[in-house]
Amino acid sequence: MQSQWKMRVPAALALGAVAAGWLLFDSFDSRAAMTAVAEPVPTQIKNTGSEAGDAFLMDLSKAVDPGSRYLAEYEMDQEWIKIAYRERNVRFDQNGMTLTLAKNAGRPPFSGAEFQRNGTYGYGRYEVVLKASDGWGAVTSFFTYTGEYFGDPHDEIDFEFLGRQTRSVYVNYFSHGEKDQAEIPLWFDASQGDHLYAFEWAPESIRWYIDGVKVREVDTTSARVKVPTSSGRVMASIWAASGSAEGWVGEAAFKRTTANYRCISHVPAGRSGSQCSDTFKPRAGS
């Protein structure tokens, strides 16, 4: 299905889905209960920072072109995180991409994993199908990011799942290093099955969706923090906290834990393209 990146869920359907604890639909398709609506978009949409890339769809259960990705091989040693990201902690197979997080006997105390889509991407719709870790003290994430390392201010939009509370998710964003965070209750356990998470980023707004239900929106007229403008990397990672961040994430109580990603896609604003939601169907009651 070649659909516009902008999707809208009828209000009655969204409220009913949340109340019932599930959403039944046949992908993002006009034949189903969900309606795809192409919103008006400016004829010229351009991010600041690096040139924004084109649409992509990565079915992670199939062969992934090594040239399209970067698997992290570096260490972070800061007050709030001390971790070694290792390529060996990323596995691709028929189940998708599995990221592993483990305790180390020495230093740094954790060995984790980070995936990056090569290139930078801007305004548009981003989707991921994933199953989060349930490891106490682990963080499963999907996000766009740029910062000083790339010559930009810190701009970021993300989903973050804490292993100690898998029936909620944090939907956050940064603009020039300033953060706005919100915790969203879930009507399912994010560690027990695959679900579709998406956000739509425009110059004037950000909207987050879970299994087709809009769960948060910020816009320039009311946002406490400005909507970010810099194009960034598309990333997925699993990590554990140190120091001050343990108060939010929790102290690690696992030896080894994993998160699984089946699909990642992006369609630029005002464009059409294939998305994860073309084929993914959330399970009724999950």
In a domain, 57, yes or no: yes
In a domain, 30, yes or no: yes
- Contacts of 53 by beta carbon, 8 Å cutoff, 6+ apart: 119, 120, 121, 122, 231, 266
In a domain, 212, yes or no: yes
Catalytic residues: 156, 160
In a domain, 285, yes or no: no
Report how many domains make up the chain: 1
In a domain, 16, yes or no: yes
Question: Do 13 and 22 touch, CB atoms closer than 8 A?
Answer: no
* Domain that includes residue 235, residue range: 3-40+51-278
One digit per residue, the tens of pLDDT, for the chain of length 286 reads: 334 444 333 333 333 333 333 332 233 333 333 333 444 444 457 899 999 999 999 999 998 899 999 999 999 999 999 999 999 999 999 999 999 999 998 899 999 999 999 999 999 999 999 999 999 999 999 999 999 999 999 999 999 999 999 999 999 999 999 999 999 999 999 999 999 999 999 999 999 999 999 999 999 998 999 999 999 999 999 999 999 999 999 999 999 999 999 999 999 999 999 999 999 988 765 6
In a domain, 45, yes or no: no
Check which CATH number belongs to the domain holding 84 and give it: 2.60.120.200
In a domain, 107, yes or no: yes
Partners of residue 206 on adjacent β-strands: 201, 218
pTM of the model as a whole: 0.84
Question: Do 206 and 229 touch, CB atoms closer than 8 A?
Answer: no
